[in-house]
Structure 1
Amino acid sequence: MAHLLGADSIRLAFPNRTVLDGVSLGLEDGDSVGVVGRNGDGKSSLLRLLAGRTTPDSGRVTLRRGTSVGLLDQTDSLDPEATVGHAVVGDAADHEWASDPRARSIIDGLLADVPWDQPVGALSGGQRRRTALAALLVQDPDVLLLDEPTNHLDVEGVTWLANHLKERSARGSGAFAVVTHDRWFLDEVTTATWEVHDGIVEPFEGGYAAYVLARVERDRQAATVAAKRANLMKKELAWLRRGAPARTSKPKFRIDAANALIADVPPVRDSVALTRMATARLGKDVVELVDASVSYVPGTDVLDRISWILGPGDRVGILGANGAGKSTLLGLVTGTLAPTAGRVKRGRTVEAAWLSQDLAELTTEADKRVADVIAPLRVSMRSSTGDDLTPGQVLERLGFTSAHLATPVRDLSGGQKRRLQLALTLLGEPNVLVLDEPTNDMDTDMLAAMEDLLDGWPGTLVVVSHDRYLLERVTDDQYAVLDGSLRHLPGGVEEYLALRARRGTTTSSSAPSARSAASGSVAASAPGTPTGTTPASPAAQPGGAARHASRKELASIERKLDKRQADAVALHEEMAAHDVADYAGLAALGARLRAVEAEIGELEERWLELSETLG
C-alpha cells in the first residue's frame, strides 16, 4: 500500500505538560484508524499535527506528493454569512453536484433536514456540525482526520457515516483516522487503533474489541499497572464476548484468548439481585402509562395513547429521531409533565431523578470546590453486591483524584462536569434514574467506568442516547418512539433502523425538497439515488377503535411476557439449586419450564402479529 502521511519523532509540549514526546507513526492507503485515550491526553492535538494545523516543537510531519488532507475539527471555520449550499459545494452549479451520486448521498445522509439556502450563522449547533462534516466529505481528501464526527448525529446518522466510511475504504480511497467516544462506531469502521497516553501513541491491530483484549493482556502482564483499570477492561471484554451476537460473530480478536481472560469474570450485572433490591426500594408499582397522550398544539399529538408499564429494576433504552417525543416521554415518567389525555400511575415510593443534557444542576455550584459540593452528601450509594459506596468512592470510581477535590467546578472540563453531575444524581438516592444523552464529553475509559457503576445500581433505569454501544451495554430492553407511539424492539437498535428504513423516514432516504427542485431531473434519474418506501394505504391500516384495542392487547401481552420470563428465570434458578438425586422433582420442574417457554413463544408470535398490524 502507498504511504500517504507520516510523523517522525514529533514532540509537542505546553507550559505545564508534554502532550506528545518522540511519536512516530504513519498512514497508508486503505488504513482505517481509531484514536482512543483519556480526555486531555492529546488525541485532538495529534490530529491537528497530522493535518498541519499545528507545528510540532521538534520532529516533522511528511506528506506524499499530491496527497490532500482534510480535518474535521471540534470547532469549524465555516463562513457564517455563506449559505449551507455554498459551504458544502462551493460555487459548483446545481447540475454538477446533483449528477454526482457520491455528493448526493452525502448531502441526503447528513443534511436532509437543513435548509439549503439558509445562512450558516442561523443554524443550530448540530446542523452546523453536520454541514461542516458534509463539506469535508464532499471534498473527498486522500486523508480524512475526524475529531468526534458522531457528535450531534442520531443513531441513523451514525450508521450512515459508518457505512460511508466503510464504502470509502472498500474502494481503496485513501485513509482516515477518527477520534470518537462512540465505541460501536470504532468497532464498525476501524481496523487499527492508536492509544494516546503518557506522551506516546501505542498502536494495536483491530478495532475497539481487539484493543480491549490487547489492553487487558498488557495490563495482566504488567504487575505495576493499577488492578482497578485491568478489572474494568476485563468486565468490558466480558460484555463484548457475551453481549450482542453480531459482535461475537466478528473475527476481530482471538476467541480462545478472550475466553481464557474472562473465564473467571461473572456476568456484568446480577439481574436477580438488582430486581430483588429494586423491588425492595420501589415495591411492585413504579410507573404505568394508561392511554397517555400529550399534545402541545391542539389536534396534534406528540404521544398518542401510549400504554406502558415500567417495573422495578427495569433497564430500558429509548430510541427515536430528534423531535419524535423522547423528552416528552421522559417528562411523563419523571412526573415533570402531565398528559393531556389518559393518565399516569406512579408508585408512592418513586423518587425519580433526571440527568439532563445541559448541566443545569451545576449552575449554582460553579464557584465551589468539588469537595465543598460533595461534602453535604453524607449518604452512601448501595449497590447490588451489598457494598455501600461513600461519596468519595463514587467520585473515585468516576475518575476523580484527590487533586480534583480542590478544583472549582467552573474549572472542570466538560467530561468532568458530566461525571460530577452523575455522582450528585446517584448520591441523591433516586430509585428511578433517567439519563438523557449521558455520554457527552466522556472518553471511552470514563464511559466504561460509568457503565460499571450503573451495573450495580439497584433501581429502574431509563436511558435516551444515540450511542448504540451504551444502550446495548447498560439496558436490557429497547423501545422506540415512532409516529407518536411507543414500540418495543426485541431486535434492539438493528430492528429500529430497519423499521425506519421501511417507513422511508431515515435521513439517508429523504431528499430535501429545495435540493431536489434545484437538481431537477438529473437527481431523479441518476443511478444510486435512494428512494423512500410507499406508505401503506389507509385501507391496510386498522380503524381507530380496532387500533386502540390492538394497543391494549399489545400492552397486556408485554405484561404477560415480563411475568412469564421472570417465571422462567425463577425455574432455572430452582433447578440449579435442586437436589440432583431427586430425578422426579427435576423432571417436574423441567416440565413446568417447557410449558412456560411454550407460552412465551406463543405470546411472542402474537406480539409480532399485533406489531405488524399497528405498523
Structure 2
Amino acid sequence: MSDYQINHLEKQYGARKLYSVARLTIGSHARIGLIGRNGVGKTTLFNQLVTKRVIQPAARVLLVPQLKPTAELSGGEQVRQYLNEAFSKRPDILLLDEPTANLDVANIQWLENRLKRFCGAVVTISHDRDFLDDLCTTVWELRETQVAVYLGNYTDYLAKKTAAESHQQARYDQFAAEKKRLKKTIQKQQQRADHATVVPKNKRGTSEIHGSKPYFEKMGKKLHQVAKATHSRLDQLDEVARPKQEKPIQMAIPNAEKLKGNTVLTVNGLSVARGDRQLLQDVSLKIKAGDHIAITGPNMAGKTSLLTALINRNDNSVKWSPLAKIGYFQQDLADLVGADSVIDNVAATSIQDAETVRLILARLGFAAASWGKPVNVLSGGERVKVSLAKMMLSDVNGLILDEPTNYLDIGAITALSDMLKDYGGTLIIVSHDRWFVRQVTSEQYKIVNQHLVNKLGLQKMAPKPNEAEKLQLALKQTELINQLAMTPNDTALEHEFQEVSRRLRALK
C-alpha cells in the first residue's frame, strides 16, 4: 500500500488562521502523534481529515472522538467499545482524539498493544508522554499555523527541540558578544577621533602648530570614518532573538514554618463505600506537611471517592492538622465564575503577589492579552488551567488534585509539573498520567482489592538503571541530532540515531 498525502490544507476562523499545511505524508502503517497547545486546532484538523478528497489516494478514514465516562460505561469500557466498532470497519487510517483521557494504566497499556497490532495507519492526539513514547514513531507538532514533522517518538522529539534551543542559545550568545565588542570598539575609536583633533600641550603656542593643524584635523576625520565604518558593521549584524528564560516561581505557603516536619493528615481504619458497594476498607496512612503522594488504581476502584472522604469525613478515621488549609480540584470546575474574566477569577481568592499571579498564568499558557476574556468563552482545557491557577494562588498550604491533567496540552502539563515539583505545600493527586505522577510525587499508593497499598517498597527493590550508560547515550543522541541538522538525508545517521534513542528509552 502506498503512502497517503495531504496537500494544501487550510482552516481559518474569521481573521484568524488556524493552520496552513503545504504537504503531509501518512505512511500506510504509520503511528503518528499530533501535539500542540489547547485551542491551536488539533481537533479541527482531525475533523477536516475525515472529509472527502482531503487525503489522496482516497482512504477510508475513521475518527474516534474524545470520550467521557457515563453512568453506564467507564472510560475504559467506552474506549474498548468504540475501538472494537472501529476495527470491525477496517479503516485505512484511524484518527484518535485523546484516547487515553479517563483511562487507568491497565487500559492505557491494553490500548497501546491493540493499536500496535492494527494493520492500518494511526494518528492520535494525546497529552500522555508515555503513550506517545510507546506507540508513535513520528510526531506532528501544530504550532503557529504550521505542522512540523519530527521522526521518532516524543522523547526523540524533545531531544531535537532541546538541541535546537541549545543551538539558538549559542547563536544568541555569539551575537550578544559580538554586539558588545563592536560597541566597545566604537566607543574607543570615537574617543581616539575626538582626541586626535586636540593639539598636544607641548606644541601649543609654538610655530610648529601652524603646519601641524591640518594634520590633526585630517587624522581626526580619518578616525571618525573608522568609527563610522565600525558602527555600520554593528547595524548590519543579523539580529538573533534571545531565547525565552523562565523566572522561578516562589509561592507563599501559609503556616509553612509551623507545619514543617509535622503530620498534616492521619487516616486510621477508614472505609469508603458508594451506595451498597464497598470500595475501600481499613485505609490507614500518615502524611507529613510537604509530602507529595499519588493515589493510583483501576477505573471504578474508588480513587475519587477516597479523596472526597478525606475532604468531607468528620470523625476519628480522618484527622487533619488544625493548621491545614486544603484546596480541592475537581473536574466540575465549580469554583469558576463564567461571566468573570480570567484575571478576576484568579485574583478573587489570591494571596500571592502580582508578579507570582502573572508568572503562573503565563506559565500555563495565558498571554496577557487573554486575561480579560470571560471564562465562559474559553475551551475546556483553558478553564481547567484557570481553575488550577486559582487554587494554587489561594490561601492554601495543601492541594488535592483529581485528574488535573485531563484536557490539558503537553505544554501545560509540563508547566504544571514544574510548578508542583517546587511546590512547598502538601500534595495528594489522583492521575492516570504515568509521566506526570513520576515527576511530581515521591510516594505512590495503589488501590488493590479494596485496600490502599504503599508501592514504595516495590520501587526500592527495582534495580537502578546504569546512570553512566544513560549519560553516554544521551550525549551521543545530542551529537547525532546536530549531525542530522547538517545532513538531514543521511539514512545511516538516522538509523544510528533511532538505535541510540531505542537503547536510551529502554534504560529509562
The 3 A distance-change label for structure 1 pair 191 and 456 is same
CA distance in structure 2 between the partners assigned to 1:174 and 1:134 by the alignment: 14
| Aligned-partner residue type, residue 303 of structure 2 | K
Q: 1:217 is matched with which residue?
A: 163
Indicate the residue corresponding to 1:62 in structure 2. Answer: 56
Distance 1:322 1:73 in 2: 20
Deviation sequence 1:432-463 (CA, Å, 0-9, x none)? 21110101221111111111111221011111
| Structure 2 counterpart of 1:539 | none
Q: Which residue of the partner structure matches residue 337 of structure 1?
A: 313
Q: Normalising by the residue count of structure 2, what TM-score does the alignment of the two structures yield?
A: 0.69
TM-aligned CA distance change 1:484 to 1:279, over 3 Å: farther
Aligned mates of 2:242, 2:441 — CA distance in 1? 28
Q: How many matched pairs?
A: 389
Which stretch of structure 1 is more off in the superposition, 323-332 or 345-354? Answer: 323-332
Match of 1:44 in 2: 43
Structure 1 residue 372 corresponds to structure 2 residue 366: no
Aligned-pair Cα RMSD in Å: 3.3
Match of 1:403 among 349, 358, 369: 369
State the 1:37 CA deviation. Answer: 0.9
319, 323, 327: which one pairs with 1:349?
323
Deviation of 1:419 after TM superposition, in Å, equals 0.8
Q: Distance in 1 between matches of 2:252 and 2:356?
A: 19
Q: What residue is the counterpart of 1:464 in the other structure? A: 430
Cross-structure match for 1:302: 279
Larger CA deviation: 204-213 vs 130-139: 130-139
Query: Any stretches of 5+ residues in structure 2 without a counterpart?
Result: 173-239, 462-508
Are 1:278 and 1:460, in contact at CA under 8 Å, matched by a contact in 2? Answer: no
1:418 and 2:394 correspond = no
Deviation, structure 1 residue 12: 2.3
Deviations 1:556-604 (A, max 9, x none): xxxxxxxxxxxxxxxxxxxxxxxxxxxxxxxxxxxxxxxxxxxxxxxxx
- 1:134 aligned onto 2:128: no
Q: Cα–Cα, structure 1 residues 400 and 122, in superposed 2: closer, same or farther, change >3 Å?
A: closer
Q: Which residue of 2 aligns with 1:289?
A: 267
Residue equivalent to 1:499: none
Distance 1:201 1:375 in 2: 36
| Deviation by residue 1:21-45 (Cα, 9 ceiling, x = unmatched) | 2420111133211111112222223
Q: Gaps spanning 5+ residues in structure 1: where?
A: 77-113, 115-120, 233-267, 382-387, 496-615
Aligned counterparts of 1:302 and 1:281: Cα–Cα separation in 2: 32
- Over 3 Å counting, the alpha-carbon distance change for 1:323 and 1:401 in structure 2 is same
Q: 1:429 aligns with which of 387, 392, 395?
A: 395
Name 2:143's counterpart in structure 1: 197
8 Å Cα contact 1:290-1:307 kept in structure 2: yes
Q: Whole-Å Cα distance in 1 between the matches of residues 359 and 329 of structure 2?
A: 20
Please say if residues 477 and 492 of structure 1, whose CA atoms lie closer than 8 Å, have aligned partners that are also in contact: no
TM-score, structure 1 normalization: 0.58
Q: Cα distance 1:491–1:6, how it changes in 2: closer, same or farther (>3 A)?
A: farther
Please show how residues 376-387 of structure 1 align to structure 2 within 5 Å. 376-377=348-349, 379-380=351-352
| Displacement of 1:492 | 7.6
CA 1:134/1:215 → structure 2, altered by over 3 Å: closer, same or farther?
A: same
**Residues 51 and 3 from structure 1, CA distance in 2 versus in 1: closer, same or farther, beyond 3 angstroms?**
farther
Correspondence 1:11 to 2:5: no
CA contact (8 A) 2:350 2:395 kept: no
Q: 1:125 to 1:485 in 2, by over 3 A?
A: closer
Change (3 A) 1:22 1:177: closer
C-alpha displacement at 1:480, in angstroms? 0.8
Partner residue, 1:184: 130
Q: Which amino acid aligns with 1:189?
A: L
Please give the secondary structure, in 2, of the residue aligned with 1:360.
coil
CA distance in 2, matches of 1:451, 1:177: 26
Q: Determine what percentage of the aligned residue pairs are the same residue.
A: 31
Q: Distance in 1 between matches of 2:284 and 2:67?
A: 43
The alpha-carbon distance between structure 1 residues 231 and 303, as it changes in their structure 2 partners (threshold 3 A), is same
Larger Rg: 2
Q: Distance in 1 between matches of 2:165 and 2:39?
A: 21
Give distance in 1, aligned partners of 2:130 and 2:246. 21
Task: Identify the residue that residue 63 of structure 2 maps to in structure 1.
Answer: 71
